[in-house]
Amino acid sequence: MTSPPFKPTLLVIDDEIQIRRLLRVTLESEGYKVRETETGQLGLQEVAHQAPDGIILDLGLPDLDGTEVIRRLREWSKVPVLVLSVREGEDDKIAALDAGADDYLTKPFSGRELLARVRAVLRRTPVSAEPAMVRVGDIEIDQSAHVVRRAGVEVHLTAKEYALFQLLVQYRGRVVTHRQILRELWGPNAEDNTHYLRVHMTHLRQKLEADPHTPRHLKTDAGIGYRLVDV
* Helix residue spans in the chain (DSSP H): 17-28, 40-50, 66-74, 90-99, 111-124, 159-170, 178-186, 194-208
| Predicted TM-score of the model (pTM) | 0.58
**C-beta of residue 63 within 8 angstroms of C-beta of residue 41:** yes
Q: How does pLDDT run across 183-201, given as a tens digit for each residue?
A: 778 776 777 778 888 999 9
Assess whether 80 and 105 both reside in one domain: yes
Looking at the domain assignment, is residue 2 inside a domain? no
Structural domain ending residue among the three candidates 94, 129, 164: 129
CA distance 20 to 27: 10
Question: In this predicted model, what pLDDT tens digit does every residue of 135-161 receive, in sequence order?
Answer: 899 999 987 778 899 999 999 998 889
Query: How far apart are the C-alpha atoms of 97 and 187, rounded to whole Å?
Result: 24
Burial class, 116, CB count within 10 angstroms (exposed 0-12 / middle 13-18 / buried 19+): exposed
For residue 217, the enclosing domain spans: 133-228
Cβ-based neighbour number of residue 21 at 10 Å: 12
User: Is 192 found in the same domain as 90?
Assistant: no
The answer on 223 and 140 residing in a single domain is yes
Q: Is residue 5 scored above 60 in pLDDT?
A: no
- Per residue in 57-100, pLDDT (tens digit) is 999 999 999 999 998 888 777 889 999 999 888 888 888 998 88
Least confident of 28-37, 113-122, 137-146: 137-146
Total tally of structural domains belonging to the chain: 2
Please give the Cα distance from 51 to 10 (Å, whole number): 10
| pLDDT at 127 (0 to 100) | 45
Residues 122 and 17 in one domain: yes
* Nearest to 114, CA basis, from 205, 228, 12: 12
Looking at the structure, do residues 122 and 13 belong to the same domain, yes or no? yes
Domain boundary at 105, 129, 153, which?
129
Which pLDDT score is estimated for 125? 56
Is 22 a residue whose pLDDT tops 50? yes
Task: Flag whether pLDDT at 13 surpasses 90.
Answer: yes
Residue 1 lies in a domain: no
